[in-house]
Chains A and B, each alone.
Chain A
Amino acid sequence: MDSSKNGPVSAHRHLPAEPELRVKALEEILVRKGLVEPAALDAIIDMYQNRIGPRNGARVVARAWSDPDFRNALLADASDAIAGMGYAGRQGEHITAVENTANTHNIVVCTLCSCYPWPLLGIPPGWYKSDEYRARAVREPRKVLAEFGVTLPEDKAVRVWDSTAEMRYIVVPERPSGSAGMDEDALAELVTRDSMIGTGLPMEPQR
């Protein structure tokens, strides 16, 4: 493999980079064999680029903040509660919701690869998939959190949840203190992606 990279490929420097060409080649072959349709790939990309994203998770958190019954159901069986809101699908089969409290802050990582609750948060940001985050979130979560701008009181415990193909996590952040009386739509606007991974906090309401 290496010899081919250093050898004859040099003549192709002006061409699309090798991985780009490789993906195209794979797609062409699979299409030719009738195993995949380009339109199906377009639909998958559209889905994850435009239709599934952290707004879904924010709706779930906002409901948990507003509706105690839903909160209890979510913490008891998140997959079920979330499916009830219409958010189901790949990488969403088994989801656990972990709630931040006055005593505990939760943070989510996937140390092995990049497992993530797609139906709620979309696909993960680059840093979530980086070796650095995957290694350090477990080893020194407080330091990582500080780099994300989250400084916690000394006496607040930090729990790190390691995702797998079998179980993925969403953090239910603490409801901002100034948000009393806000409805679900307004609350959802306060919930950031990072606050549901645990590397951020929800926004404070604008006054």
Chain B
Amino acid sequence: MTPGSEPDFDAPWHARAFALAVAENEADRLSWSDWTARLAATLRDFGQSRSLNGGEDYFLAWLDTLESILVEEGRIERGEIEQAMAELAKAHAHEPHDAQGANSFK
């Protein structure tokens, strides 16, 4: 809990998750008061087993809330998420990491 000039987002995925919820709100598919109520409930649940640090913890709660809302509203199915994750993981595994690393030194 130290003051200072922290970056807005510690990790790119925090920013992405943040933007996805804001985009839902901007598209009028999610009211901000509903969002904060749901996020507060997730934070309460997550915070029961340990003290949340407000960084990674917070965005995990954010992501979990967003996912639940999207599924409940019928915009996404759980199965779709699992499938897309599996495909992304597979695509990642096939990327030529070593070659990429070598290129970056040129």
A residues at B contact (CB < 8 Å): 12, 15-16, 18-30, 33, 35-36, 40-42, 44-45, 48-49, 53, 90-91, 112-115, 122-123, 125-133, 144, 147-149, 164-166, 193-194, 199-200
Task: Write out, one digit per residue, whether chain B residues 61-96 have a CB within 8 A of any chain A CB (1) or not (0).
Answer: 001001100100001100011001100110011000
Given contacts A44-B19, A91-B32, contact A129 B13 (CB under 8 A): no
* A199 CB to nearest B CB, Å: 6
* A169 CB to nearest B CB, Å: 15
* B74 CB to nearest A CB, Å: 11
- Pairwise interchain contact B3-A194, C-beta atoms closer than 8 A: yes
* A123 CB to nearest B CB, Å: 5
- Pairwise interchain contact A165-B1, C-beta atoms closer than 8 A: no
Per DSSP, chain B at the interface is: helix
How far apart are the CA atoms of A16 and B92 in the complex, in Å?
8
- Pairwise interchain contact A130-B1, C-beta atoms closer than 8 A: yes
Q: Number of contacts between A and B (CB, 8 Å)? A: 163
Please give, as numbers and ranges, the residues of chain B lying within 8 Å of A18 by CB-CB distance: 85
CB-nearest residue of chain A to B7? A49
CB-nearest residue of chain B to A133? B1
How far apart are the CA atoms of A53 and B88 in the complex, in Å?
34
CB-nearest residue of chain A to B36? A165
B residues at A contact (CB < 8 Å): 1-3, 5-6, 8-13, 15-20, 22-27, 29, 32-33, 35-37, 39-40, 43, 47, 51-55, 58-60, 63, 66-67, 70, 75-76, 80-81, 84-85, 88-89, 92-93
Partner of A19, one of B8, B20, B60: B60
Given contacts A12-B89, A45-B18, A165-B36, contact A148 B3 (CB under 8 A): yes
How far apart are the CA atoms of A26 and B80 in the complex, in Å?
9
Please give, as numbers and ranges, the residues of chain B lying within 8 Å of A21 by CB-CB distance: 85, 88-89
How far apart are the CA atoms of A17 and B54 in the complex, in Å?
18
Please give, as numbers and ranges, the residues of chain B lying within 8 Å of A48 by CB-CB distance: 8, 15, 18, 22
* A1 CB to nearest B CB, Å: 10
How far apart are the CA atoms of A12 and B59 in the complex, in Å?
22
CB-nearest residue of chain B to A53? B8
How far apart are the CA atoms of A27 and B19 in the complex, in Å?
10
CB-nearest residue of chain B to A115? B36
Please give, as numbers and ranges, the residues of chain A lying within 8 Å of B13 by CB-CB distance: 19-20, 23-24
Given contacts A41-B19, A113-B40, contact A29 B81 (CB under 8 A): yes
Partner of A127, one of B2, B70, B85: B2
